């Protein structure tokens, strides 16, 4: 007699929810908005976040047309001649003496080769407590990227004023910007121009 075939073994069945459950956790997948956010964070125009869209579009057009360098030379045709830490310190102390005489003392103002423009473009203010015997002395220091040795004087002054203001106001609040404009009347315009220069620097269109 021919061998009788038996029915195949019954396999355990998965519920509908189990069968459709993906192996990858969907919560970890990037959405289109995540990708757009990452792209904007990498874009040179990230320095202009928060400014009106029409201003950003104007700068983007200058970048696309390779005209951003010419734009800067028209506004700021020359760079400053402050190349040493001593000269930078004197610049900062002049502002401090004239506008912030009662603020905390400033122990050091230097150009720093290690400062990355993309992270500390407007300088770096540090506050350090140093113990000397039984006494603790506070020291305020301002460090500015060495790349800023080759920018227009007005933009360097803006960075110095920005960091000096942090001696009194640690946060970028209303009082902080009031102090900045007290020391430098056109501070807001200069900060915008400084940020535009950072865009030019990152895309290789800086004229300096």
CA–CA distance, 26 with 30 (Å, rounded to integer): 9
> Around Cβ 68, how many Cβ atoms within 10 Å?
25
Q: Domain map of the chain by residue range?
A: 74-202
Show the tokens assigned to 59. Answer: 């700068």
Statement: the pTM of the whole predicted model exceeds 0.85: no
Q: Report which of 195, 117, 203 is spatially closest to residue 158, judged by C-alpha positions.
A: 195
pLDDT of residue 122 exceeding 80: no
Q: Is the pLDDT of residue 98 over 60?
A: yes
Residues 14-62 have pLDDT tens digits of 555 555 555 555 555 545 444 444 444 569 999 999 999 999 999 999 9
**Is pLDDT at 125 greater than 60 in this prediction?**
no
- 125 phi and psi angles, rounded to 5 deg: -105, 130
Per-residue pLDDT tens over the stretch 143-193: 999 999 999 999 999 999 999 999 999 899 999 999 999 999 999 999 999
Fold of 74-202: Zincin-like (3.30.2010)
| Residue whose structure tokens are 């009082």 | 175
Kindly indicate the confidence band of residue 118, based on its pLDDT and cuts at 50, 70 and 90: low
The residue whose two tokens read 């770096």 is 124
């Amino acid at each position: 007699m021919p061998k009788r075939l038996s029915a195949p073994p019954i396999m355990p069945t998965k519920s509908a929810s189990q069968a459709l459950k993906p192996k990858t956790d969907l919560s970890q997948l990037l959405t289109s908005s995540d990708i757009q956010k990452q792209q904007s964070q990498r874009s040179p125009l990230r320095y202009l976040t928060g400014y009106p869209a029409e201003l950003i579009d104007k700068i983007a057009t200058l970048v696309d047309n390779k005209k951003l360098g010419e734009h800067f030379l028209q506004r700021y045709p020359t760079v400053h001649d402050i190349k040493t830490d001593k000269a930078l310190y004197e610049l900062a102390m002049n502002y401090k003496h004239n506008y912030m005489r009662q603020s905390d003392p400033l122990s050091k103002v230097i150009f720093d080769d290690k400062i990355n423009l993309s992270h500390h473009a407007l300088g770096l203010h540090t506050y350090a407590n140093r113990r000397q015997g039984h006494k603790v002395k506070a020291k305020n220091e301002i460090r500015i990227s060495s790349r800023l040795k080759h920018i227009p004087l007005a933009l360097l002054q803006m960075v110095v004023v920005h960091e000096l203001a942090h001696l009194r106001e640690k946060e970028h609040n209303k009082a902080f910007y009031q102090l900045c404009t007290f020391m430098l009347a056109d501070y807001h315009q200069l900060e915008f121009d400084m940020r535009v220069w950072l865009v030019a620097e990152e895309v290789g269109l800086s004229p300096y």
